[in-house]
């Protein structure tokens, strides 16, 4: 158990819909990362937050957004869903979000878009 908690574990939704994935980082970790894992693209970095502020942005679509709340939990919002958005979405956390920190991953949220 990494200490990173993600909900829901599984989600099935229709095209065009919107979903929210939730993440609670490890106790004491200030930085949260979101990754997408798909057969086509492998593990892709989406976005990073540190103590409530966006820190880095990767290959995140405009239809996707994220935020980190004062209690440090984070949410990833996916809207206007397409079939290609079906993937495993990982949340991860680290102490400071700087290089050299170990990043711990949650078990992921499986999203299926039908």
Partner 1 sequence: AQSVTQPDIHITVSEGASLELRCNYSYGATPYLFWYVQSPGQGLQLLLKYFSGDTLVQGIKGFEAEFKRSQSSFNLRKPSVHWSDAAEYFCAVGGGSTLGRLYFGRGTQLTVWP
* Site of interaction with partner 1 (CB under 8 A): 2, 4, 31, 33, 42-43, 45, 48, 55-56, 58, 90, 92, 94, 96-108
Nearer to partner 1 by Cβ, of 4 and 19: the residue is 4
Q: How far is the CB of 42 from partner 1 (least distance, A)?
A: 5
Rounded to a whole number of angstroms, the minimum distance from the CB of residue 31 to partner 1 is 6
Q: Which is nearer to partner 1, 59 or 80 (CB)?
A: 59
d(CA 75, CA 99): 23
Q: How far is the CB of 18 from partner 1 (least distance, A)?
A: 24
Least distance in angstroms from the C-beta of 92 to partner 1: 8
**Contact present, 56 and 48 (Cβ < 8 Å):** yes
Max distance between CA atoms of the chain, in angstroms, equals 40
- Residue 85: phi and psi, rounded to 5, are -85, -10
Distance set, CA 32 to CA 1, 37, 45, 52 (Å): 17, 16, 11, 9
């Amino acid at each position: 158990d990494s200490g990173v908690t993600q909900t829901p574990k599984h989600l099935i939704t229709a095209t065009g819909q919107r979903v929210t994935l939730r993440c609670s980082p490890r106790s004491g970790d200030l930085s949260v990362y979101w990754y997408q894992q798909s057969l086509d693209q492998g593990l892709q970095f989406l976005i990073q937050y540190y103590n409530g502020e966006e820190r880095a942005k990767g290959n995140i679509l405009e239809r996707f957004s994220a935020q980190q709340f004062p209690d440090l939990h984070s949410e990833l919002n996916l809207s206007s869903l397409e079939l290609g958005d079906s993937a495993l979405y990982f949340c991860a956390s680290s102490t400071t979000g700087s290089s050299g920190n170990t990043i711990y991953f949650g078990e992921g949220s499986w999203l299926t878009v039908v």
